[in-house]
Amino acid sequence: MPVDQDRGLAERATTNARQTARARYDRATADLDPPLAIVDLGAFDRNAADMTRRAAGRPIRVATKSLRCRYLIERALATPGYQGVMCYALTEALWLHAMGTSDDLLVAYPTVDRRALRALAADGQARQRITIMTDSEAHLDVVDRALGDGHPEIRVCLDLDVSWRPLARWPAVHIGTRRSPLHTPEQAADFAQAITRRAGFRLVGVMGYEGQIAGLGDAPPGRPLKAQLIRLIQGRSVPELNRRRAETIRLIQALTTPEFVNGGGTGSLESTARDASVTELTAGSGLVGPTLFDAYRRFTPEPALLFALPVVRRPGPGIATLFAGGYVASGSGTPDRLPRPYLPAGLRLFGVEGAGEVQTPVRGTAAGSLQPGDRVWLRHAKAGELAERFREYHVIHEDGQVTDVPTYRGESQCFG
């Protein structure tokens, strides 16, 4: 079959699938007024299964910041291949522990929340199930000051800097997220030794988030030169990281035996799983498939989380204006952080107006047929941040039934 004909058939199949999805979502939420957000549960479950395939036998720790909805977190944990959660705040971990969501809670970022630290110290069961993050003795000092002398033992995890520094003489050339100062195996081992010698702390884990691989799509649309550069970076970074991380763990294991070594993210499951020093992976965004993950060649998650906005006016031919919509994702502040119209197909934002606080104009082929009262389905650029905009998600089951579940916001929880 000619390539052009094959491509045309694929495009028509995609268009038909999206039209079917739009009709299904409209039908399931016909009695609800937008703005509203839905979770396609079938797509969520298929994404979960695909991530376990990519993890190649490594257990996946669920990144809660990518979901911010207990129903979805617990749904993922009930799926074979998932084990434990990675929280983004100690207050969140304490709440999830109290709600019985998980008995294995790792806080991904250092905490200086004195009240939360005191709550952790006062709860013997929570202390056995919650691990906090550290990358310097200053973090341990914060805990000591908050809890006082002779405080109960606190479980800690050592955070590695797993960014790529291609020029050894110029460490300022830093490709990846700026997290821990512990870059070399020797730096990490020295700090691990400091933890083991310090009363009131127990080193139970090591983690490193390779953002230059996990969080950087290697196929940005319309950017072929950037794509080549990203692939070059990732191709060089992966083997260097695996060697450095393996040596780091070897040195730390000479001092103590960690319960876990955590690595990766949705975008790096394959490469991180090949690192024999890693015992578990972390992922979350791939469960719901936000638009930032459209820029990867290695996998294609289904859009499982969408939100609908109503058409409220027609300012001109080929233009429809939606109510609200300014749900902009955190990060670089670039256009790829804006929400993207999804259904009906053929809509796009205006470059000069984008997604607004109270209105979002769209244009394109489908805009001419939209009328006030119609709805447009959009996708968020990231995963969990949409939950900060909605008190509930309407979960659409495979049989068309709808279950309403609260987000963190809907349970009156806000962790920053």
Q: Give the CATH number, domain containing residue 351.
A: 2.40.37.20
Same-domain pairing of 81 and 194: yes
Same-domain pairing of 120 and 157: yes
Q: Into how many domains does the chain fold?
A: 2
Task: Say if 402 falls within a structural domain.
Answer: yes
Domain C-terminal end among 283, 314, 343: 283
Q: Domain containing 199 — which CATH number?
A: 3.20.20.10
Q: Across the chain, what does the average pLDDT equal?
A: 93
Same-domain pairing of 234 and 336: no
How does pLDDT run across 275-323, given as a tens digit for each residue? 999 999 999 999 999 999 998 888 999 999 999 999 999 999 999 999 9
**Rounded to a whole number, what is the distance in angstroms from the first to the last CA of the chain?**
53
Residues of the chain by 3-state class (helix, strand, coil), percent to 5: 40, 20, 40
Q: Report yes or no on whether pTM surpasses 0.75.
A: yes
Same-domain pairing of 74 and 214: yes
CB neighbour list of residue 301: distance below 8 Å, 6 or more residues apart: 47, 50, 266, 286, 287, 288, 289, 293
Same-domain pairing of 118 and 254: yes
Same-domain pairing of 214 and 353: no
Task: Say if 367 falls within a structural domain.
Answer: yes
Same-domain pairing of 230 and 306: no
Domain range for 272: 56-283
Per-residue pLDDT at 8? 54
Residue pair 195/156 in contact by the 8 Å Cβ criterion = yes
How does pLDDT run across 229-261, given as a tens digit for each residue? 888 887 788 888 889 999 999 999 999 999 999
How does pLDDT run across 155-170, given as a tens digit for each residue? 999 999 888 777 766 6
Distance CA 283, CA 107 (A): 14
